[in-house]
């Protein structure tokens, strides 16, 4: 198996996350998710949110983040870990890894991230036409700063698209993760400079909780 083949596989096929997704599916058999849940899905910013249920109690939230996934890979597994739950609302964080790349992956443009988001929304609204989708903006990077301009462009494209459809909502988490000068609040990140720590998730909870309350109040 050549390096070129592995690189192409990682870039174009979500199969690398199949084991992680199958683990989530198997967990559903032992611990079925609540009905009318609020579903969180996306990449490792969601996957590492171990305190999600506690942070957003008493709302019936379900965490279905996996790996260091890219947005198009989340789209691929929607039939397995999004649509079967018939969620009352969907919260999505993905796109950061697309732009910065992971290991040998190619880097995606803001336009490609936007197109993947459009596909996610279309796929979700085909069986669940009235389900609101909340997109969590790509967070400002401490470690991936050179990619921030492209991430901002992706955020802008998605925000404008959300403004065009009342079922779509853009949640700007950027200001809460920056100080008054616009610098990233380093104390909210783990040592890798990419993932949030416990304090970071506390800040994220403060931003997101009103939207979860809104989503549940409308049901």
The residue extents of the domains of the chain are 3-217
Question: What is the SS3 string spanning 160-198?
Answer: HHHCCCCCEEEECCCHHHECCCCCECHHHECCCCCCECH
61-65 vs 89-93, strand pairing mode: unpaired
Q: Calculate the CA dihedral of residues 38, 42, 45, 48 and round it to 10 degrees.
A: 70
Q: Give me 84's structure tokens.
A: 């079967």
Query: What is the per-residue pLDDT for 10?
Result: 52
The CATH class given to the 3-217 domain equals alpha beta
Specify the residue for token string 């403060």.
206
Run of H or E including 25: helix 18-30
Query: What is the per-residue pLDDT for 13?
Result: 61
Closest of 35, 22, 45, 8 to residue 173, by C-alpha = 45
Buried b (16+ CB within 10 A) or exposed e, 63-100: bbbbbbbbbbbbbbbbebbbbebebbbbbbbbbbbbbb
Q: Are 16 and 69 in contact (CB under 8 A)?
A: no
pTM listed for this prediction: 0.92
Quote the DSSP letter at residue 65.
E
Nearest 5°: the CA angle 123, 168, 61 is 80
pLDDT, mean of each 10-residue run, the chain (219 residues): 51 76 90 91 97 97 93 95 96 95 81 98 97 97 86 98 98 97 94 93 98 88
Q: How far is CA 13 from CA 17, 105, 120, 200, in A?
A: 9, 11, 16, 31
Radius of gyration of the chain (CA): 17
Query: What is the per-residue pLDDT for 16?
Result: 83
SS3 category, 90: strand
Q: How far is CA 51 from CA 73, 92, 200, 202, 207, in A?
A: 24, 17, 12, 9, 15
Q: Are 94 and 70 in contact (CB under 8 A)?
A: yes
């Amino acid at each position: 198996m050549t390096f070129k083949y592995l690189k192409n596989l990682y870039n174009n096929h979500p199969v690398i996350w199949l084991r992680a997704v199958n683990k989530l599916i198997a967990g559903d058999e032992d611990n079925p998710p609540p009905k009318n849940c609020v579903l969180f899905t996306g990449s490792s910013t969601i996957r590492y949110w171990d305190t999600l249920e506690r942070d957003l109690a008493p709302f019936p939230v379900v965490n279905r983040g996996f790996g260091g996934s890219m947005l198009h890979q989340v789209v691929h597994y929607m039939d397995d870990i999004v649509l079967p739950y018939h969620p009352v609302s969907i919260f999505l964080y993905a796109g950061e890894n697309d732009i910065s790349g992971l290991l040998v992956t190619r880097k995606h443009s803001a336009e490609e991230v936007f197109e993947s988001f459009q596909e996610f929304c279309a796929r979700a609204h085909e069986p669940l036409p009235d389900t609101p989708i909340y997109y969590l903006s790509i967070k400002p990077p401490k470690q991936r700063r050179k990619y921030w301009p492209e991430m901002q462009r992706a955020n802008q494209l998605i925000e404008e698209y959300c403004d065009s459809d009342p079922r779509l909502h853009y949640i700007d988490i950027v200001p809460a993760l920056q100080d008054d000068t616009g610098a990233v609040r380093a104390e909210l990140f783990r040592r890798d400079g990419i993932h949030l720590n416990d304090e970071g998730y506390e800040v994220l909870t403060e931003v997101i909780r009103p939207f979860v309350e809104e989503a549940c109040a409308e049901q």
